[in-house]
Structure 1
Amino acid sequence: MEADGVRERAGSLPREPGVYQFRDGETTLYVGKAVDLRDRVRSYADPRSARIRRMVDRADDVEIAVTDTETQALLLEANLIKRHQPRYNVRLKDDKSYPMVQLTDHDAPRIEITRDPSESATVFGPYTSKTQVETVVKALQETYGVRGCSEHKYSGRDRPCLDYEMGLCTAPCTREIDIESYREDVTAVERFLEGETGILADPLRREMEAAAESQNFERAANLRDRLETVEAFHGEGGEAVQSVGDERGVDVLGVAIEGEDATVARLRAEDGKLVDRDRHTLEAPGSAGSDSAIGGGVPAVLSAFLVQYYAERELPDALLLPERHGDGEVAAWLATEGVSVRVPGAGREAKLVELALKNARRNMGRRDECAMLADALEIESASRIEGFDVSHAQGTAAVGSNVAFVDGSAEKAEYRRKKLTDQNDDYDNMRALLEWRATRAVEGRDDRPDPDLLLIDGGAGQLEAARDALAEAGWEVPAIALAKAEERVVTPERSFSWPSDAPHLHLLQRVRDEAHRFAVQYHQTVRDEVSTVLDDVQGVGPETRKRLLGRFGSVENVREASLEDLRSVEGVGEKTAETIKSRL
């Protein structure tokens, strides 16, 4: 819409409170609230930023909804932003982008880290650090033996798996532990995840002290590091929480802004105890309306978050904020709901706000890399990158990998892999891999969000093959390539030779190397499934080979196994074990 078109449309609007939507056909580009719809929409005839000017140029209509009160407009705006996820709004992303821990609804529950928990599972989180969660879950498995295997691997077993041998599971699958005792261990895990730190920290401390006494200092140091992670898992600031007024429930917010993204960290205190902490990412593009623009800084982010987050949740008795949000409509709504809003300047409440700010700023350096990469490639964002590689052995056991990184960190729960048609052609293999990913995305069969950037492991040939697949599927996502030989970044228009210490190059290298590792790992698994050197070992038939690979995981592990370990496998006697060692 041109400026005259905006003014003409605004002139026909009422001077009443309500919500307006700039639309491009059926697509909602931007949602805003207004005390006076006519005045607010007219302001877009002269946008304050280039980004919003592009939005107005792209829009072909403005749709409105009149409300009785300003508070109704506030809540309607939040619901429409959540429903339509308009590109030009400050948008609160889904909580599922953060890791959670679930215990499945099973006679012998499984513990796992997930971003998409089952409705029937017992779920804890979300948490801010996936690395910290992984350390804690492994410690819980080693201490209480709770299984982490899939239902497929659990059912129908006649021997415990390698996790049992490694002390990570007590093997309820083969009743090495009775179900009643196993459930007692699961209850202990639940108690820890509910906040009883000592139930895991105490046995770790005893084991650390025992290792130190026996002069196993490397083991003691490892346990010390794990103990520190466990003790920090349920958060700091307990002393400060104890003094938070008489309110039963208090939420503390901290905000960090990076470019067009913002992070809000929330600490939750109930009855004087810190019971929860989480982080939420908001995409915050520049906007003409000061109440929703990233240009409005922390107040604008707080205003957007407060409405979008709490519109569908129970409000706390009190909110502690790092600074005033400055939105009159939001203030009136919170006052009507009886929420006390405070900006502490000193004391224990200020300590809690500082803790929330520390959580919000965590990993911002990684997002610097993403911003630098986006600037270098002249794309809007590089916060979500997916990497691709293929692996095969002269055309056999061909596979492809698809890894995902968000804000510079690997998101292993969103990795995917695919068997490909066997052929000794890297270009055709890459084309097939990208065709699979793009087609699933276009048809809505992939439950992951579209990435900002695709990274191909290879050079110009692999990139061209990938782009052919993207064009054929109609998936419009920027794609580049990175080859190991010269570490040159190849784009459709040109190539870059960035300094070896450039942070954004390091980011691409991490994605590329992880895609390569994941592809090679899967290729080795498929190769072992299809054909292995075990096939040539006298005395090892298909069933024995299957049991060997099931027991040790790969041919490489079979090669490293001792004669005693080999003989422990059903069907492998002393002579066969010696033959295997000699042959491998």
Structure 2
Amino acid sequence: MDPPAVRARAGDLPAEPGVYQFRSAGATLYVGKAVDLRARVRSYADPRSGRIRGMVDRADAIEFAVTDTETQALLLEANLIKRLQPRYNVRLKDDKSYPLVAFTDHEVPRIEVTRDPDEGAVAYGPFTNKGRVEAVVKAIRDEYRLRGCSDHKYAGRDRPCLDYEMGICSAPCTGEIDAAAYAEDVAAARRFFEGETGVLADPLRRRMETAAESAEFELAATLRDRLAAVEAFHGDGGEAVSDRSDDRTVDVLAAAVEGDVARVARLHSERGQLVDRSRHRLDAPGDREAAIGTTATGTDGIDDEAAGRGAAARGAAGGAPGDVGDEPNTPAAVLSAFLTQYYAEREFPDAVLLAERPTDPDVVDWLEREGVAVRVPGAGREAKLVELALKNARKRDGRDDPVAALGERLGIDRPGRIEGFDVSHAGGKAVVGSDVCFVDGNAETADYRRKRLSDRNDDYANMRELLRWRAERAVEGRDDRPDPDLLLVDGGEGQLAAARDALAETGWDVPVVALAKAEELVITPNGPLRWPDDAPALHLLQRVRDEAHRFAVQYHQTVRDEVKTVLDDVPGVGPETRKRLLGRFGSVENVRDASVDDLTDVDGIGATTAERIRDRL
């Protein structure tokens, strides 16, 4: 639209509060709010910013909706942005939440690390470092022997499971411990998460000292590392400082901007304790050259870049002093956009702590009218909470780094070194395993290994043997490669369970997940995860999995060709014919079950040779 068209359209609008849309070919380009629709839209006729001019030039229509109050306009704007996702507005996209430690609502509670606690569970956290959380939970289970199995597995057992044999569960399922004693152990574990570090650190320290005195130096070193994680948990590695005397609900928000993508970290505190922590992604306006500011009106404010209008005119249009020329991707502007879009459809907290004051005073006024205290703390505990939120906001999500993205999705440190495992065999014969290595997302072929396994037609047992071989070499110092940051097994829940059993038996502490081929589900100890098909983290796991499969099949074919079979004694069947037979039927047993017609379908085998094979087998 040219300036005369904008002015003409503005003249048709009422001088009342409302929401306006710039549209092109039926699609909404931009949504804004105004105290005075006529004054606000007229300001677009003479924009002083190239960004605004580009948007106006693209538009072919302006639509509007009148509201009774400015607050209604603010909320309607937020809802339209969420629903329409206009190209030139900052748009909120929720990211995943952080893990919590939960004690289930059960007469015999289990302890688990989860992002989605069951209803009625007592949850602590969230926490930023899933690896450290898992180390602490492992220490708690080792010390207090709390169960980690599902309610389904717990019910109906007639004998303790492997966890009991390993000393990490007291087996309440079979009455090895009575309910009262188990409840005391649960209470002690919960006291740790409520801030009483000594309930776990003190027994760990005693065990470490006893192991050292008994010259069990490897065990002492393991306990030392575990103790360090426990003692750091309530310092810089767990939650922010709690203040249980505070009975308010408080949200702490901070924003970080990288290029055209912004992230807002939110910490939520109830009664002085953090109970929720999440990150949210906001996409900036379309392209940098035509982006629209998110200043004076939260996701609006673009008219105030036309400098020279006085404070009265700015007030009439709903703008704010001091926002002339603001960039759309400043943290303060992002917070303005986030506040309206987030709280328009959620319950208000008692207070909001911000890293910066939003550029839009209307947003702050709206929150305060709803009884929300808005503060930008400068010191004390509140300032520490804001610093933690800012640290979370600045944590990159790894979109340009698949390895970092994988670590973030799994809740572990960046897995720069990944080893992938697969097993290949033909009906339990010529069973082999592969161990491939990727460093920073690239195959490290010099660190590939392969292993001939026991002949058996049991994929779970084969995977357990393969992982135990790798783990024992690492624990005993017989492997010349560095320990990996992540292990990936080809398969589903059964293969993952087998791998975890092998790691537990050997004491090798490395995160492990599986990738199931059928639905490309990422199987973790906490359950399956379905990631988007275009997720870089999933693509990385697929590459590792596929390479492990290729390497295993290649080795299996080599071993299979080297194995002497009864086919070698059949006149007319040489090495090449045998290779073709096994390639077609997979095993000698399948060749035995084949008909003469099936056998003669294989190149190089006539009716006479087929009869000889049938007679010999």
Q: TM-score range by the shorter chain?
A: 0.5 to 0.7
**Contact kept? 2:254, 2:386, Cα under 8 Å:** yes
The corresponding residue for 1:550 is none
Query: Aligned with 1:233: secondary structure?
Result: helix
**Pairs aligned (count):** 421
The corresponding residue for 2:360 is 327
Are residue 295 (structure 1) and residue 339 (structure 2) matched? no
| Counterparts of residues 200-215 of structure 1 (less than 5 Å) | 200-215=200-215
The corresponding residue for 2:544 is 513
Residues 149 and 86 from structure 1, CA distance in 2 versus in 1: closer, same or farther, beyond 3 angstroms? farther
| Counterparts of residues 282-431 of structure 1 (less than 5 Å) | 282-286=281-285, 287-291=291-295, 292=299, 295-311=328-344, 312-317=346-351, 319-345=352-378, 350-362=383-395, 364=396, 366=398, 369=401, 393=424
Deviation at 1:33, TM superposition (A): 3.2
Deviation at 1:303, TM superposition (A): 1.4
Structure 2 letter corresponding to 1:314? F
The corresponding residue for 1:464 is none
Q: Distance in 2 between matches of 1:88 and 1:390?
A: 47
Deviation at 1:230, TM superposition (A): 3.0
Q: Distance in 1 between matches of 2:102 and 2:392?
A: 23
**Contact kept? 2:145, 2:170, Cα under 8 Å:** yes
Q: Distance in 1 between matches of 2:421 and 2:25?
A: 40
Deviation at 1:139, TM superposition (A): 2.1
Are residue 19 (structure 1) and residue 27 (structure 2) matched? no
The corresponding residue for 1:278 is 277
Deviation at 1:107, TM superposition (A): 3.0
Once the two structures are aligned, what percentage of the paired residues are identical?
56
**Contact kept? 2:421, 2:545, Cα under 8 Å:** no
Structure 2 letter corresponding to 1:264? V
Query: Aligned with 1:296: secondary structure?
Result: coil
Deviation at 1:79, TM superposition (A): 4.3
Query: Aligned with 2:328: secondary structure?
Result: helix
Q: Distance in 2 between matches of 1:143 and 1:38?
A: 70
* Greater Cα shift, 352-361 or 29-38: 29-38
| Counterparts of residues 445-464 of structure 1 (less than 5 Å) | 450-453=532-535
String of CA shifts for 1:320-376, please: whole Å, max 9, x gaps. 4332212111121233245444434556654553343233333x2845526999xxx
Structure 1 letter corresponding to 2:360? D
| Counterparts of residues 215-234 of structure 1 (less than 5 Å) | 215-234=215-234
Structure 2 letter corresponding to 1:67? T
Residues 450 and 178 from structure 1, CA distance in 2 versus in 1: closer, same or farther, beyond 3 angstroms? same
Question: TM-score when scaled to structure 2?
Answer: 0.53
Residues 332 and 284 from structure 1, CA distance in 2 versus in 1: closer, same or farther, beyond 3 angstroms? same
Q: Distance in 1 between matches of 2:388 and 2:275?
A: 13
Runs of 5+ consecutive residues of structure 2 not aligned to the other structure: 286-290, 301-326, 406-417, 429-440, 442-484, 495-515, 522-527, 553-617
Deviation at 1:299, TM superposition (A): 0.4
**Contact kept? 1:91, 1:284, Cα under 8 Å:** yes
**Contact kept? 1:240, 1:349, Cα under 8 Å:** no
**Contact kept? 1:92, 1:280, Cα under 8 Å:** no
Are residue 150 (structure 1) and residue 150 (structure 2) matched? yes
Q: Distance in 1 between matches of 2:363 and 2:349?
A: 13
Residues 394 and 202 from structure 1, CA distance in 2 versus in 1: closer, same or farther, beyond 3 angstroms? closer
The corresponding residue for 1:134 is 134
Structure 1 letter corresponding to 2:401? E
Residues 433 and 352 from structure 1, CA distance in 2 versus in 1: closer, same or farther, beyond 3 angstroms? closer
Residues 97 and 512 from structure 1, CA distance in 2 versus in 1: closer, same or farther, beyond 3 angstroms? farther
| Counterparts of residues 152-167 of structure 1 (less than 5 Å) | 152-167=152-167
Structure 2 letter corresponding to 1:315? P
Structure 2 letter corresponding to 1:113? V
Deviation at 1:304, TM superposition (A): 2.4
**Contact kept? 1:252, 1:266, Cα under 8 Å:** yes
String of CA shifts for 1:440-490, please: whole Å, max 9, x gaps. xxxxxx99564544688xxxxxxxxxxxxxxxxxxxxxxxxxxxxxxxxxx
Structure 1 letter corresponding to 2:390? L
**Contact kept? 2:197, 2:230, Cα under 8 Å:** yes
Are residue 186 (structure 1) and residue 186 (structure 2) matched? yes
The corresponding residue for 1:255 is 255
Q: Which has the higher contact order (CA 8 A, sep 6+)?
A: 2
Residues 10 and 219 from structure 1, CA distance in 2 versus in 1: closer, same or farther, beyond 3 angstroms? farther
Structure 2 letter corresponding to 1:224? R
The corresponding residue for 2:482 is none
Runs of 5+ consecutive residues of structure 1 not aligned to the other structure: 374-386, 398-407, 420-431, 439-445, 457-507, 522-584
The corresponding residue for 1:476 is none
Structure 2 letter corresponding to 1:72? Q
**Contact kept? 1:201, 1:227, Cα under 8 Å:** yes
| Counterparts of residues 548-563 of structure 1 (less than 5 Å) | none
Considering only aligned residues, what root-mean-square deviation do their CA atoms show, in Å? 5.4
Deviation at 1:89, TM superposition (A): 4.6
**Contact kept? 1:90, 1:282, Cα under 8 Å:** no
**Contact kept? 1:128, 1:279, Cα under 8 Å:** no
**Contact kept? 1:238, 1:274, Cα under 8 Å:** no
Q: Distance in 1 between matches of 2:174 and 2:239?
A: 46
Residues 207 and 265 from structure 1, CA distance in 2 versus in 1: closer, same or farther, beyond 3 angstroms? farther
Residues 233 and 160 from structure 1, CA distance in 2 versus in 1: closer, same or farther, beyond 3 angstroms? same
Q: Distance in 1 between matches of 2:23 and 2:176?
A: 62
Structure 1 or 2, whichever has the larger Rg, is 2
Structure 1 letter corresponding to 2:203? P
Structure 2 letter corresponding to 1:290? T
Q: Distance in 1 between matches of 2:71 and 2:104?
A: 41
